């Protein structure tokens, strides 16, 4: 029972860490801008860089990466292998932030931070898959979607534990849901490179 309760606490902690609205706060502090009201309304580093400035977006992106890394690190420290689950919940929290009434980002930086903390080989493979598809399809969102769709298999291949597969599946599903409007635009012929 104690182990089950600990796992539950790690899930809640991961989600709450992910819900910290880093880019929202950096945009507000730097320029008084509410990211929900500009461009695509995305609460992520790219939207901050494009509409507020490079430095606030860079700081927000580092903080978003830190959310995933800290959640994954703490999960693994408490229960070996559980960092994949608590890290994945940080991505879910980033994509649907509690303080912003479930507005959020698309999970790229938080996923990157999680993977760096867990297994750098996975982030390398994840980045290579995304880069190849971006070069072929000439679209960033197609590359991100393919990388997310393959993440469960890539994570399991390198980490070799069930938690890696399930964490990768949770991250992939959460981020593909957020990419749906961009993928519809891609299918209609629009291409976006960063």
Between the alpha carbon of residue 134 and those of residues 31, 38, 40, 105, the distances in Å are 32, 25, 20, 20
Residue 188 is predicted with a pLDDT of 65
Residue 116 is predicted with a pLDDT of 96
Q: Is residue 192 part of a domain?
A: no
Q: Is residue 193 part of a domain?
A: no
Q: Is residue 150 part of a domain?
A: yes
Q: How many domains does the chain contain in total?
A: 1
pLDDT tens, N- to C-terminus, the chain (194 residues): 558 999 999 999 999 999 999 999 999 999 999 999 988 888 999 899 999 999 999 999 999 999 999 999 999 999 999 999 999 999 999 999 999 999 999 999 999 999 999 999 999 999 999 999 999 988 888 888 999 999 999 999 999 999 999 999 999 999 999 988 877 766 665 655 55
Q: pTM score, two decimals?
A: 0.93
Residue 77 is predicted with a pLDDT of 95
Pairwise CA distance, residues 168 & 178, whole Å: 15
Q: Is residue 194 part of a domain?
A: no
Q: For the residues of 130-167, what is the DSSP string, one character each? A: HHHHHHHH--HHHHHHHHHHHHHHHHHHHH-SHHHHHH
Domain residue limits at 24: 2-187
Q: Is residue 165 part of a domain?
A: yes
């Amino acid at each position: 029972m104690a182990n089950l309760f600990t796992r539950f606490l790690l899930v809640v902690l991961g989600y709450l860490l992910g819900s910290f609205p880093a880019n929202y706060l950096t945009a507000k502090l730097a320029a008084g801008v509410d990211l929900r009201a500009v461009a695509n309304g995305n609460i992520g580093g790219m939207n901050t860089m494009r509409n507020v400035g490079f430095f606030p977006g860079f700081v927000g992106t580092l903080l978003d990466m830190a959310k995933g890394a800290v959640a994954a690190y703490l999960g693994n420290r408490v229960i070996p292998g559980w960092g994949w689950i608590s890290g994945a919940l940080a991505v879910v929290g980033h994509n649907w932030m509690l303080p912003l009434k479930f507005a959020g980002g698309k999970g790229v930086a938080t996923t990157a931070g999680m993977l760096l903390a867990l297994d750098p080989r996975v982030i390398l493979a994840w980045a290579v898959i995304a880069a190849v598809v971006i070069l072929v399809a000439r679209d960033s969102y197609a590359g991100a979607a393919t990388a997310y769709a393959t993440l469960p298999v890539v994570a399991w291949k390198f980490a070799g534990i069930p938690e890696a597969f399930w964490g990768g599946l949770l991250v992939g599903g959460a981020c593909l849901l957020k990419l749906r409007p961009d993928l519809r635009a891609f299918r209609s012929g629009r291409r976006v490179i960063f």
